[in-house]
């Protein structure tokens, strides 16, 4: 298959490219070659490329940057994906559009299915929700894959930050009242490839995450426990719990509960995705 993947300098796009390269022909335009801040230029650029599938990972993903420039976030996360989807629809090409659990801010604490009401509370979430809706309006056979709390790949993420703090003897602190599902980029790559082969017509919204849920605090504790088991740290430091309310480090509001149910993904794959703890153990062990 010829797969066009956007955002390959980023965490998820990079992981998909590395995973698929041995079996597929990958076209991976850089940010400068396919600039989402210039929606009107996209069609001309896409016209020069031949591909059977588009996996759209690129975007403005920092919630605080989106809060500072909501117009740019709408352009990059909604207007440009709509252009890409329109092009794919005209060409009869499948598009997988990567979205986020940040479209949610649930008051109920039970895992959210694809039909759950989206209610973003920051500019990033609003732009990603607008992007999902625009993509599905432009291309009814597109698949919107919502992912959450990604780890793994070539860029440091939350586990590496926690380990860095622990290894340098700093206090480790993490928010203990905000829940989501840590998810391995390598698992996302495997699931999407399996879906392309087994269920190429799957469309609409799909929650693509490992099984289970965690707070940042539980995520940090598990990371440190696994690092100890791998022999990286002599003992497991205590993680200081922090509260989301009044947390000084964020400009954009953060949703408290965005845990997604992966029941539809399980049904499509014919198996329940492994837990995030198993995936994290693998990811850390492989980075040794
Ligand atoms: N990371 C997470 O925990 C998480 C959670 C939920 C959902 N997601 C979603 O997953 C997807 C991938 O996220 P990620 O973690 O891989 O992000 P990332 O590591 O920050 O990578 C973002 C990618 O987008 C590219 N990009 C940014 N602005 C662009 C523009 N104007 N034109 C073209 N390319 C542009 C970046 O290129 P340069 O680096 O060259 O600028 C980079 O390749 C996104 O759709 C995000 O919303 C991520």
- Position 246 scores a pLDDT of 81
| Ligand 1 contact via 84 beta carbon (within 6 Å) | no
98: helix, coil or strand? strand
- Position 249 scores a pLDDT of 83
Q: Which of 12, 30, 219 to mutate to test the pocket of ligand 1 (most atoms within 8 A of CB)?
A: 12
- Position 109 scores a pLDDT of 84
- Position 114 scores a pLDDT of 98
- DSSP assignment of 149-181 equals SEE-SSS--HHHHHHHHHHTTPPEEEESS-EE-
Ligand 1 nearest atom to the CA of residue 58, by list position: 24
Q: Which of 59, 97, 142, 180 to mutate to test the pocket of ligand 1 (most atoms within 8 A of CB)?
A: 59
In the block, tokens 């949610």 appear at 104
- DSSP assignment of 99-111 equals EEGGG---SS-S-
Chain length of the chain: 288
Q: How many Å is the maximal CA-CA distance in the chain?
A: 58
Q: Ligand 1, atom 41: nearest CA belongs to which residue?
A: 31
Domain residue limits, the chain: 2-155+184-209+260-274
**Of 50, 43, 45, the residue nearest 30 (C-alpha):** 45
| Ligand 1 contact via 57 beta carbon (within 6 Å) | yes
The CATH number of 2-155+184-209+260-274, from 3.40.50.300, 3.40.50.720, 3.30.70.2740, 3.40.1360.10, is: 3.40.50.720
Task: Please list, in sequence order, all residues whose beta carbon lies within 8 angstroms of the beta carbon of residue 46, skipping any fewer than 6 positions away.
Answer: 84, 87
Contact 81, 98 (CB under 8 A): no
- Position 248 scores a pLDDT of 79
What is the Cα gyration radius of the chain? 19
In the block, tokens 């979430």 appear at 125
| Ligand 1 contact via 12 beta carbon (within 6 Å) | yes
Burial 230-264 (b: 16+ CB within 10 A, else e): eeeeeebbebebbebeeeeeeebbbbbbbbbbbeb
**Of 174, 190, 177, the residue nearest 271 (C-alpha):** 190
Ligand 1 nearest atom to the CA of residue 7, by list position: 43
d(CA 152, CA 161) in angstroms, rounded, equals 12
**Of 109, 56, 62, 110, the residue nearest 82 (C-alpha):** 56
| Ligand 1 contact via 98 beta carbon (within 6 Å) | yes
Q: Would the pTM of this model clear 0.95, i.e. be above it?
A: yes
**Of 258, 70, 238, the residue nearest 178 (C-alpha):** 258
Contact 271, 137 (CB under 8 A): no
Q: Which of 4, 6, 7, 187 to mutate to test the pocket of ligand 1 (most atoms within 8 A of CB)?
A: 7
DSSP state at residue 130: H
Q: Ligand 1, atom 24: nearest CA belongs to which residue?
A: 58
Spell out the per-residue pLDDT of the chain, length 288, in tens.
Answer: 999 999 999 999 999 999 999 999 999 999 999 999 999 999 999 999 999 999 999 999 999 999 999 999 999 999 999 999 999 999 999 999 999 999 999 888 899 999 999 999 999 999 999 999 999 999 999 999 999 999 999 999 999 999 999 999 999 999 999 999 999 999 999 999 999 999 999 999 999 999 999 999 999 999 999 999 999 999 999 999 999 998 878 899 999 999 999 999 999 999 999 999 999 999 999 987
Q: Ligand 1, atom 30: nearest CA belongs to which residue?
A: 36
Contact 196, 188 (CB under 8 A): no
161: helix, coil or strand? helix
- Position 106 scores a pLDDT of 82
Ligand 1 nearest atom to the CA of residue 101, by list position: 6
| Ligand 1 contact via 149 beta carbon (within 6 Å) | yes
d(CA 246, CA 243) in angstroms, rounded, equals 7
Q: What is the pLDDT of residues 114-144, one digit of tens each?
A: 999 999 999 999 999 999 999 999 999 999 9
| Ligand 1 contact via 100 beta carbon (within 6 Å) | yes
- Position 107 scores a pLDDT of 83
């Amino acid at each position: 298959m010829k797969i066009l993947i956007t955002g390959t300098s980023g965490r998820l796009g990079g992981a998909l490219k590395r995973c698929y390269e041995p079996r597929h022909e990958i076209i991976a335009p850089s940010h400068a070659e396919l600039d989402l801040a210039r929606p009107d230029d996209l069609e001309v650029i896409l016209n020069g490329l031949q591909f059977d599938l588009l996996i759209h990972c690129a975007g403005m993903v920092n919630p605080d940057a989106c809060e500072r420039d909501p117009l740019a976030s709408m352009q990059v996360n909604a207007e440009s994906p709509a252009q890409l989807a329109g092009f794919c629809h005209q060409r009869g090409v499948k598009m997988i559009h990567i979205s986020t659990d940040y479209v949610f801010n649930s008051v109920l604490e039970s895992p959210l299915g694809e039909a759950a009401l989206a209610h973003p509370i920051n500019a990033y979430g609003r732009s990603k929700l607008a992007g999902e809706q625009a993509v599905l309006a432009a291309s009814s056979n597109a698949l919107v894959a919502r992912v959450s709390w990604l780890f793994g790949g070539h860029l440091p993420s939350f586990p590496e930050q926690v380990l860095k703090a622990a290894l340098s003897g700093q206090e480790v602190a993490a928010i203990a009242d905000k829940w989501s599902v840590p998810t391995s980029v390598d698992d996302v790559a495997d699931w999407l490839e399996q879906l392309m082969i087994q269920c190429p017509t799957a469309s609409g919204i799909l929650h693509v995450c490992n099984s289970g849920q965690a707070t940042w605090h539980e995520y940090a504790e598990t990371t440190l426990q696994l690092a100890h088991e791998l022999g990286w740290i002599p003992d497991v430091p205590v993680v200081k719990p922090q509260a989301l309310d009044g947390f000084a480090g964020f400009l954009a509001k953060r949703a408290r509960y965005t845990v997604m149910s992966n029941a539809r993904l399980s049904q499509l794959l014919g198996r329940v995705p492994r837990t995030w703890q198993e995936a994290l153990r693998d990811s850390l062990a492989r980075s040794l």
